[in-house]
Amino acid sequence: MKEITGAKIVLETLKYLGVKDIFGYPGGAVIPIYDALYDFKDIRHYMARHEQGAVHSADGYARTKMVPGVCLATSGPGATNLVTGIMTAHMDSVPMLVITGQVSTSFLGKDSFQESDIIGITSPITKNNYLVRDINELPEILKEAYSLASHGRPGPVLVDIPKNIQEQKLDYIVFQELLKKEIKEIKKFKPLYEEKDILEVEKYLNSSEKPVLVVGGGVLNGDCVEEIKLLSKRLKLPVVSTLMGLGIFNKKDKGYLGMIGMHGLLEANRAVDEADLLICVGMRFDDRIVGDKNRFSPNSKKIHIEIDRAEVNKNIVVDLPIVGNAKDVLKNILSLDLKNSFEFWRDSFKRTKSTEEKSLNQIAALNVLNEILDDDYIVVTDVGQHQMFTAQHLDIKKPFQFCTSGGAGTMGYGLPAAIGAQVANPNKKVIVIVGDGGFQMNQQELILLAQYNLPVKILIFNNGALGMVKQWQELFNNKRYSSVILDINPDFVKLGNAHFVEGEKIDNLQNLNRLKEILENDKPYLLDIQMSFEHNVYPIIPAGKSYEHTIGGV
């Protein structure tokens, strides 16, 4: 009788689901799975150098390929090292299947070696998680978890598999039957709006003179870019974006004003502040967007189109919540006989343009990128000043070209996420823009570029500081720079060389012209770009404050 192990079931089920690539790090509780991987030809495994690198790589893979990313780690510290990455994916609604090994079922709850309650630890930051106790349930659980990750509002799902389950064997014919068995139907999402709610949208528009369309990452997840552009074009609306919605519109789209929020562009934030109606689609009213919730867009009615009921009225009480799939809702709105036109209001704004810089700084580097990058690139950032400079000044031309940690703000995200993005998109150029602080958090992942021949280009915006925290200490703590000065940094070029990645230091504006030649190279490359310590990112609205308290910007 032919049999199959639990470990092999994991791989065969992933293959059945269409998974081609996984990111992981081996350990004692997943040795059976790694043994099965040894001669399994249908799934490529990318060995990270830290579990956090693996989970961020799966995240970058998912965000740029629009399929769940998959990562694998052992029990105990291996599993807990994934937690930051799971939280990062959870905050930004990224579909991910996380597989962890666990001590054998007979050792559960006994403080066994490398035992951790990863189910309990990750419950608040996953859509669901499963502890497998029966090998017969393994195929169904994996299929259900993979499907659930993308269902409704996407997010991470974790499957914890004890080692003895991986080692057990199952009749192969039984496995085939279980594999083909339809999973129990995930409870279908039921829209909570009615036709009268759609008709209400028309009434709100008819009574409005200053409406603004606010787009978030839910527009990308909801596959409704075409519908949202049709709506903005038909009504001639001014449009603003959250950080996660960047790429839905670009600077060529009439009426598009850029990012809103704490580091939003002045005209974009002004539009929201002066609006009498906000049509918000697939976004959260998080504190970086809202600031002082009592002063946020104070004179506007608010329509909130959102798939997750839990997000409605969480931070801002809205006038018309429409809980449903954004694509369906927008189609219904577009079917209305809307004759409104807000061209005069839309054209009263002039999108903020990047300044021409005469010295080497973050904006100058991004201006050069704007001149040379075509439509076929992906830009990943880490978190900090460079991230906000990029969000403000880089012309992101298409959806899914921009990959960043928004809600979690995870430093150390950039490099491993870029690795995942490059694996997912081998024919595209992948650039990671990272600060000197964030780069050092997961620099060990550099070796993957050489190991797997991944031509990621690394642009370190090196200002010798934890720039964003430094900026806050400068503005709000009387320049008491506490533990933010990185005056002793590694030689990043030599560090790259040690990992078989060529690189160079750029310390003047003229040498930025080498970027085009470097980006066309088919090998990984590291640029250590020397930035001024003094250069801060503006405008900024202090935390908890409103538009009228904006500091800086033109």
Among the listed residues 8, 163, 457, 470, the single catalytic one is: 163
Active-site residue, 51 included = yes
CB within 8 A of 149, min separation 6: which ones? 68, 95, 96, 97, 127, 155, 156, 157
- Reduce the DSSP state of residue 220 to 3 states and report it: helix
Active-site residue, 1 included = no
Q: What is the CA radius of gyration of the chain?
A: 24
* Tokens representing residue 353 in the block: 């343009």
* C-alpha distances out from residue 505 to 141, 316, 440, 496, 499, Å: 49, 46, 17, 11, 16
Among the listed residues 96, 244, 468, 531, the single catalytic one is: 468
CB within 8 A of 115, min separation 6: which ones? 75, 76, 102, 103, 107, 108
Among the listed residues 12, 23, 40, 51, the single catalytic one is: 51
Among 42, 70, 10, residue whose Cα is nearest residue 424: 70
**Alpha carbons 193 and 195: distance in angstroms, whole number:** 7
Quickly count: other Cβ atoms within 10 Å of residue 161's Cβ.
29
Quickly count: other Cβ atoms within 10 Å of residue 187's Cβ.
8
**Which phi and psi angles does 500 have, rounded to 5°?**
65, 30
On whether the CB atoms of residues 11 and 30 are closer than 8 A, the answer is no
Among the listed residues 20, 65, 66, 114, the single catalytic one is: 114
Query: Residues, the chain, total?
Result: 554
- Reduce the DSSP state of residue 304 to 3 states and report it: strand
Residue 485: HSE in the Cβ half-sphere, 13 Å Cα cutoff: 8
Active-site residue, 306 included = no
- Catalytic annotation, residues: 51, 113-114, 163, 468
